A and B are shown apart, each in its own frame.
Chain A
Amino acid sequence: MTCKELQQLLYSTRIEDFDPAEKEFLKKHLADCETCKTIFQEVTKADRILNRIKEATPRIRNEHALTESIIAAIVSGERSMVYTSANKFLDRLINIFSMETIRFACSAALLLCGMTYVLMEYNDTIAIVSLEKRLGKKSEMKSADIFKQEISVLNFFRDLYKLSNGSASSVELTKTLVLIKKTDLQVLLNGYKSLDDASQARVDRLWEKYRKEESSIVGSENNREEITALRNEIERLKMDVERSNQTKGQQ
């Protein structure tokens, strides 16, 4: 090995990494060569400095905080991976509802809706109870049966009312029948109850007929005759009822 080769080896390789043959050559050569000895001393000093730098391991300012930030980023990243459009919509909704005025308005609207619903339910209950009393069947039936019966009776008279008095929405009509046209209803109901079996059967048949032909009757110009016939039938029924009541009153 020449001086140049040794010097290159000294500069490029850590002395502890020299193989035994190189170490032996170095030892012998340095005893005779002042130039290489000087370079060896410089390189040794450089290696020591490098070792000090190697030992001076950089310290993280706040290891715990760094770990926390990594884990937090991972967890939030996981959330964002499942951040679907539904989540985004929900987030937007939450943001909107976090506004105080919106929250107040929504609460007020919800309260109003709730109160209206309760009131409507209460009215319906009152109507059902009154109808129940009129039917006088409370003690004989279970509440579910009563309800079924009431619905059935209400439907029957709704249909009847609709045919005799023209069009109205079924909700309005039901309300009208139950709450406003109580007298008419009472008359019809009493009349129905006071009818003999044949007349009741006639009403039932009328109802059945109406139910069957409802779709063809409603909104059909061609069935005008049929509608008129039905209306006449109902008028006759009303008159029968009134006559029956009058007879009862006289008795």
Chain B
Amino acid sequence: MQNTIPVEALIQLIEDAQKGDVMAFDKIVKYHQSYAYAIALRFLYDEDDAEDIVQESFIRIWNHLKDFDPEMKFTTWMYKIVVNLCYDKAKSNKRRTSVFARWNENLSKDNCIENIDIERDLTNKETTAVIKSLADGLSEKQRMIFLLRDLQDLTIQEVADITGMSESGIKANLFYARQNIKKKLAMLEVSI
């Protein structure tokens, strides 16, 4: 991922972009697109879908940049948009039968968690295969909370701001998700 940008520099870029400076927005995109992509790919398990989400998210961010509240963290605002678009995409994917074919293609036997060497660098497909195996059985909400808190390393407060849920609701869902995932991982014959 890109190195984090100093807050003052980011604020300046946002202010410039709010005035219509596309070059400033280009820098914002460069700094943040990998974060947006990570959450989208981990949630949707598909690289094309994830790239679509990133593109759509930044277009929305650009179009609503004037509504951005400087009191809010930019990444929180960005994640909020990404998360909502991910939910929408997941819904539309459910309606499409072709999505199963794509999953079958992506999650072939070679990408089963038991066959993946966790110690080496994982490809995107391997990462998504592992997450898919672990998150199987969780609701979309639980899966998203787990991704945001444990894989994106956001605070409970940030997750609450992004999802619009209460902190206690986040904790309850997170508890269920972690318990479920850790039990699965504990049962795996994976050496580490």
Q: Point out residues on A near B: beta carbons under 8 Å.
A: 8, 10-14, 39, 42-43, 45-50, 52-54, 56-61, 63, 66-67, 69-71, 73-75, 77
Check B186 against A70 for contact (C-beta < 8 Å). Answer: no
A53 and B54 CA atoms in complex are apart in Å by: 21
A39 and B185 CA atoms in complex are apart in Å by: 12
Check B182 against A58 for contact (C-beta < 8 Å). Answer: no
List chain B residues, Cβ under 8 A from A42: 182, 185-186
Check A71 against B34 for contact (C-beta < 8 Å). Answer: no
Contact of B192 among A39, A45, A54, A60 (CB under 8 A): A45
Known contacts A11-B183, A66-B55, A73-B55; is A50 also within 8 Å of B150 by CB?
Answer: yes
Which residue on B lies nearest to A77, using beta carbons? B59
Check B130 against A53 for contact (C-beta < 8 Å). Answer: yes
| B172-189 contact mask (Cβ, 8 Å, vs A): 1 or 0 | 001100110111011010
Chain A facing B: main interface SS: helix
- Chain B nearest CB from A135 CB (Å) reads 65
Place the interface of chain B in its size category. Answer: 35 or more
User: Can you list 8 contacts pairing A with B, beta carbon distance less than 8 Å?
Assistant: A13-B178, A54-B151, A56-B127, A59-B124, A61-B51, A66-B33, A71-B29, A73-B55
Known contacts A11-B182, A58-B38; is A74 also within 8 Å of B62 by CB?
Answer: yes
The 5 closest A-B pairs by CB, nearest first: A42-B186, A46-B185, A56-B122, A12-B175, A11-B179
Known contacts A11-B183, A67-B29; is A49 also within 8 Å of B59 by CB?
Answer: no
- Chain B nearest CB from A84 CB (Å) reads 19
Q: Point out residues on B near A: beta carbons under 8 Å.
A: 1, 22, 25-26, 29-30, 33-34, 37-38, 41-42, 47, 50-51, 54-55, 58-59, 62-63, 118-119, 121-122, 124, 126-128, 130-131, 134, 150-151, 153, 174-175, 178-179, 181-183, 185-186, 188, 190, 192
Which residue on B lies nearest to A52, using beta carbons? B118
Check A50 against B181 for contact (C-beta < 8 Å). Answer: yes
List chain A residues, Cβ under 8 A from B29: 67, 70-71
- Chain A nearest CB from B45 CB (Å) reads 10
Check A58 against B127 for contact (C-beta < 8 Å). Answer: yes
List chain A residues, Cβ under 8 A from B30: 63, 67
Further contacts, 6 of them, CB under 8 A, given A11-B179, A67-B29: A45-B185, A50-B181, A53-B151, A59-B34, A59-B124, A74-B62
List chain A residues, Cβ under 8 A from B174: 12
Interface centre among B118, B131, B179, B186 (most CB of A within 10 A): B186
List chain B residues, Cβ under 8 A from A43: 182, 186
List chain A residues, Cβ under 8 A from B182: 10-11, 42-43, 46-47, 50
List chain A residues, Cβ under 8 A from B119: 52
A161 and B58 CA atoms in complex are apart in Å by: 77
Which residue on A lies nearest to B178, using beta carbons? A12
Which residue on A lies nearest to B119, using beta carbons? A52
Check A53 against B127 for contact (C-beta < 8 Å). Answer: yes
List chain A residues, Cβ under 8 A from B62: 74, 77
A60 and B34 CA atoms in complex are apart in Å by: 7
Contact of B54 among A14, A57, A66 (CB under 8 A): A66
Which residue on A lies nearest to B20, using beta carbons? A78
Known contacts A58-B127, A66-B54; is A49 also within 8 Å of B183 by CB?
Answer: no
- Chain B nearest CB from A51 CB (Å) reads 9
Contact of B33 among A45, A67, A77 (CB under 8 A): A67
List chain A residues, Cβ under 8 A from B55: 66, 69-70, 73
A39 and B54 CA atoms in complex are apart in Å by: 39
Known contacts A45-B192, A52-B192; is A58 also within 8 Å of B150 by CB?
Answer: no
Interface centre among A48, A53, A71 (most CB of B within 10 A): A53
- Chain B nearest CB from A61 CB (Å) reads 6
Check A12 against B34 for contact (C-beta < 8 Å). Answer: no
Which residue on A lies nearest to B128, using beta carbons? A58
List chain A residues, Cβ under 8 A from B150: 14, 50, 54
Check A46 against B37 for contact (C-beta < 8 Å). Answer: no
A105 and B58 CA atoms in complex are apart in Å by: 46
A73 and B58 CA atoms in complex are apart in Å by: 10
